[in-house]
């Protein structure tokens, strides 16, 4: 069943008399339960696509719909259905780990006891039970990102979105977090879209990788056979194919 449908999506930003095309003609479909990585150069329109999915931006043309509905027009329908893990943790510094993890549930007006139970469940899943009373500044970057993951899962979203979620972490921490995140996604069978500029990360996480050109449009849609990342030769071959496709797209001129 199609969960996310992107049809002839186009986004042009206008700043005074200048216009800038961030998304040219983007088409893809994501089925329920799929884990898809979206990879493309910096500035190719990935976050803009995510913002349209979140209902924060309106498409200039075309449509991007979840369950047949467009987030910008149906903002209320999407309450509690989507969660995002951003690159920076976006935690509230004056709240404890537990209070941060319950934040989304609070906005959804879930009763206090239930939201504490749910948040604790997910904090345990990400290994932070002992830190529930700590404040963000007392945690490492990786731990803060784990709080963000717990917060995202706590609301029980149908779709989980990640925008460069592990992009600023050191490689060892990022790798561990990716593995743990993947496990949670598989356990919950959530539809998820993982945006990254890192091709290895895309191959590690996605069952399928969408490669975007600049401005955003689909250059390549590739299924990742299970076990690819355990096979360095196979991973290297796929990676070089993806790099070739991105490079052949040209330097990404600003119109
Ligand atoms: N609100 C905005 N107004 C004007 N230009 C924007 C806006 N948001 C993004 N852009 C431009 O659109 C392009 C794509 O940005 P973005 O989606 O953030 O790329 P990515 O996430 O792939 O790095 C960039 O060149 C960026 O400067
Ligand atoms: Mg971005």
How far is it, in rounded angstroms, from Cα 167 to Cα 196? 8
Structure tokens at 116: 């504490």
Among 151, 169, 161, 142, which residue's Cα sits nearest to residue 96? 151
pLDDT per residue as tens, the chain (255 positions): 889 999 999 999 998 889 999 999 999 999 999 999 999 999 999 999 999 999 999 999 999 999 999 998 888 888 899 999 988 888 999 999 999 999 999 999 999 999 999 999 999 999 999 999 999 999 999 999 999 999 999 999 999 999 999 988 999 999 999 999 999 998 999 999 999 999 999 999 989 999 999 999 999 999 999 888 889 999 999 999 999 999 998 765 444
167-170 own/partner pairs: CB under 8 Å, 24+ apart: 167/87, 167/196, 167/197, 167/198, 168/87, 168/88, 168/141, 169/141, 169/142, 169/145
Q: Ligand 1 center to residue 48 CA distance, Å? A: 6
Q: Is the CB of 192 under 6 A from ligand 1?
A: no
Closest residue by CA, ligand 1 atom 10: 22
Closest residue by CA, ligand 1 atom 4: 13
Its pTM stands at: 0.93
Q: Is the CB of 42 under 6 A from ligand 1?
A: yes
Give ion ligand 2 contacts, CB < 5 A.
46-47
Question: What does the chain come to in residues?
Answer: 255
Phi-psi region of 45 (alpha: psi -120 to 50; beta: other; left: phi over 0): left
Q: Is the CB of 44 under 6 A from ligand 1?
A: yes
Q: Is the CB of 83 under 6 A from ligand 1?
A: no
């Amino acid at each position: 069943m199609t969960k996310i449908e992107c049809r002839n999506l186009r986004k042009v930003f206008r700043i005074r008399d200048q216009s800038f095309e961030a998304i040219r003609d983007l088409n893809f479909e994501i089925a329920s339960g799929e884990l898809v990585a979206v990879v493309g150069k910096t500035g190719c329109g990935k976050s803009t696509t995510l913002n349209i999915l979140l209902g924060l931006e309106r498409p200039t043309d075309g449509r991007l719909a979840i369950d047949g509905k467009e987030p910008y027009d149906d903002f209320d329908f999407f309450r509690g259905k989507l969660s995002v893990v951003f690159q920076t943790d976006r935690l509230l510094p004056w709240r404890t780990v537990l209070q941060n993890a319950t934040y989304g549930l609070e906005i959804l007006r879930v009763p206090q006891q239930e939201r504490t139970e749910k948040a604790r469940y997910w904090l345990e899943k990400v290994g932070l039970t002992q830190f529930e009373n700590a404040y963000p500044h007392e945690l490492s970057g990786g731990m803060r990102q784990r709080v963000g993951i717990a917060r995202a899962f706590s609301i029980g979203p149908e779709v989980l979105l990640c925008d460069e979620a592990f992009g600023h972490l050191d490689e060892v921490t990022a790798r561990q977090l990716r593995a743990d995140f993947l496990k949670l996604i598989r356990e919950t069978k959530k539809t998820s879209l993982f945006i990254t500029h890192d091709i290895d990360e895309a191959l590690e996480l996605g069952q399928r990788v969408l490669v975007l050109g600049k401005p955003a449009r689909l250059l390549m849609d590739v299924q990742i056979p299970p076990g690819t990342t355990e096979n360095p030769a196979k991973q290297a071959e796929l990676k070089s194919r993806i790099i070739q496709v991105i490079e052949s797209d040209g330097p990404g001129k600003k119109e």
